Structure 1
């Protein structure tokens, strides 16, 4: 009986070792190290803001940094405008896919990317002639999981005077 009792004590250790071995095989969970909760606007550097002055060619976007390195991720970005723009610009190239809503106010882009340095990735847009003034929203998902929503306003200072 003594030998059997010692074997019984080893069973939990074998179970624990098995669970650790299986958990080591699981996919890494993506977690963000850094993300600004405001949209970034271009000047001499990208600065966080919730308001962007309407100026054709002005760039805005977002940037995220992962805690752990990855080779590739699938990024889905949903940009919703307050009204339909005159154009959504040229068709994307490469692996980037784009879908425009029937009311022309929302653009969903999907891309499989290799983050710079294995951790850093971003997306930028630029204001085009005919883009509407008002509240914008960008939703970002990574590998099918919603990560961040950015709300911001594009305004025309000539209309506020």
Structure 2
């Protein structure tokens, strides 16, 4: 589901998907995720090229992904201690900015 507002609820996911034109085989991409403040923890799958900024608000993930249909993607799952507020994801291929995704993590509405 496409949205720019994601409820801060453990297990909810957010991320991006890009369809590249005329692309076959493997794609090397870099994702820069900027948070409004540091989360309590950062977690990724093992084996990824992943780094965190000194202030803890920005992560960089590098991945080589097979894209036979030209689609690349990455998703994050909300965990306890993740911050509310405006988030931004920038996706680069060969150091060229391909797309920027801006969204907000919002409080879960009480019923």
- For 1:125 and 1:142, the matched residues in 2 are separated by 20
**TM-score, structure 2 as length reference:** 0.91
* CA displacement at 1:121 relative to structure 2: 1.3
> What is residue 57 of structure 2 aligned with on the other side?
105
Extract unaligned runs of 5+ from structure 2.
none
Q: Which of the pair is proportionally richer in strand?
A: 2
> In 1, Cα distance between the equivalents of 2:108 and 2:20?
37
- Structure 1 residue 114 displacement after superposition: 1.2
**2:79 corresponds to which of 120, 128, 146:** 128
Indicate the SS of the match to 2:2.
strand
CA RMSD of aligned residues (A): 1.8
Higher gyration radius (CA): 1
The structure where helix makes up a greater share of residues is 1
**Structure 1 gap segments, 5+ residues each:** 1-46
Task: Give the paired residue count.
Answer: 111
Ranked by relative contact order (alpha carbons within 8 Å, sequence separation 6 or more), the top structure is 2
Q: Please give the alpha-carbon distance, in whole angstroms, between the structure 2 residues aligned to 1:144 and 1:70.
A: 19
8 Å contact 1:73–1:143 — kept in the other structure? no
**For residues 12-91 of structure 1, what are the structure 2 equivalents within 5 Å?**
47-90=1-44
